[in-house]
Amino acid sequence: MAKLIQENDLNNSAVDDTQSPPLASKNASLLSDAGKRLEKALKHIDISEDAIARLRYPKATLSVHIPVRMDDGSLKVFAGYRVRYDDTRGPGKGGVRYHPGVNLDEVQSLAFWMTFKCALLDLPFGGAKGGITVNPKELSKSELERLSRGYVDAIAGFIGPNIDILAPDVYTNSTIMGWMMDQYSIINRQLVRGVVTGKPLTLGGSQGRNEATATGAFYVIEAILPKFDIKPEQTTVAVQGFGNAGAIIAELLFKAGYKVVAVSDSQGGIYAPQGLDIPSIRHHKAQSRRIKAVYCDDSVCSIVEHQNISNAELLALDVDILVPAALENQITAANASDIKAKFIFEVANGPIDSAADEILLAKGIKIFPDILVNAGGVTVSYFEWVQNRNGWYWELEEINQRLKTKMETEVEKTWAIAQKLEVDMRTAAYIHGLNRLGEALDAKGTRDYFKQ
């Protein structure tokens, strides 16, 4: 039931390379928008035409349909995807998301971002991504397990610890990753821990992986703000998205002394100018699955003064730091003029589109891009992959120290590029990643080499 989609199928075999932006297909709006960021970077570096041509499209795209027997005996068929954008620097690496909005364009775009994220962090991986079009909240745990195992059955020949490595993403977690690893091992009749990262610790997972995206983002924020002489206790923060990454980054910032004044999830948000008690809110949400402005003393929680706000209102709050930690395209040309934050740290993938970028930069807002800010997840996934291969596992303190060093190193290198070339941090991040990708691609030979 799997169909390998060729590049020509995606791009109608009539793409005019002299007219279309790099890495853009005429039918893939999100991927096309992602490619516009690359155009800005290309103006500042010397990279071969061969490398650009290789990066223009995904290397391989797999579309599958997964039949699942539901608990009531009925059969439902779900669409799934896996895209390996580039594997020049190593096997593909990227998460699998479960969401009703998943489509091929989104997965290709996420794989594109992963390609540059891995290069930016100097990880020996290429970029990949996967997803299933499903609302996981409508499925029982047994149905989710059958869906997850069915997805691996459908893509098993497309993935592997030296080919393409899965990880958790939106609405997937360590349990689902454990099912996927187990199913791949069953198919191959041997234990293959390295095909999946983000697994439970007892199945070969790594310390710190669950918190890695948020922890890495926290290290980036802590490395950047001193450059602007900003102190935590004088800094207000709003976090859009209170899932795994958003809730953890909110709590890390709260514990470091930042005043977190607003948080939100898909149902809406809460705002309290005096600041919120984030550990209490996390505790309450774990019990009720709802965000409420509360203060908890042990098991007793009481409501504190606050305003109920929408996600749109949260984005427009007058705060020092805005942290989009939800989904793509939350800030567009339609609402960019409403943004008042001084700094934006993208914990979500692609929360700002390219048109909004220009509006925000013109207003003097500093944007720190997803491919740098949220790279802690893939970095600790790399650590997990290494530990699986070696059979030697590190303690949490060592994991976090390695992550901190990695994030701070690449922040400083990206910052130096931005200062030297007088470009924004997103463009600097793409320049940094593109330089590494270009070197790897050119090592296989370019037109100049073969003309000699």
Q: Could you list the active site residues?
A: 129
- Contact in structure between 280 and 295 (CB atoms under 8 Å): yes
Of 105, 109, 99, give the one whose Cα is nearest residue 28.
105
Q: Report the distance separating Cα 322 and Cα 118, nearest Å.
A: 24
Report the b/e string of 102-114 with b at 16+ CB within 10 A.
Answer: bbbbbbbbbbbbb
Q: Which of 264, 434, 424, 432 is nearest to 359 (CA)?
A: 424
Supply the DSSP symbol for 208. T
Q: Give the burial string for 29-41 (b: 16+ CB within 10 Å, else e).
A: ebbbbbbbbbebb
Closest CA to 167 of 217, 216, 122, 111: 111
Put the strands of the sheet holding 343-345 in their side by side order: 307-309, 268-271, 259-265, 236-240, 321-324, 343-345, 366-368
Name the CA radius of gyration of the chain, rounded: 22
Residues 6+ apart with CB under 8 A from 211: 248
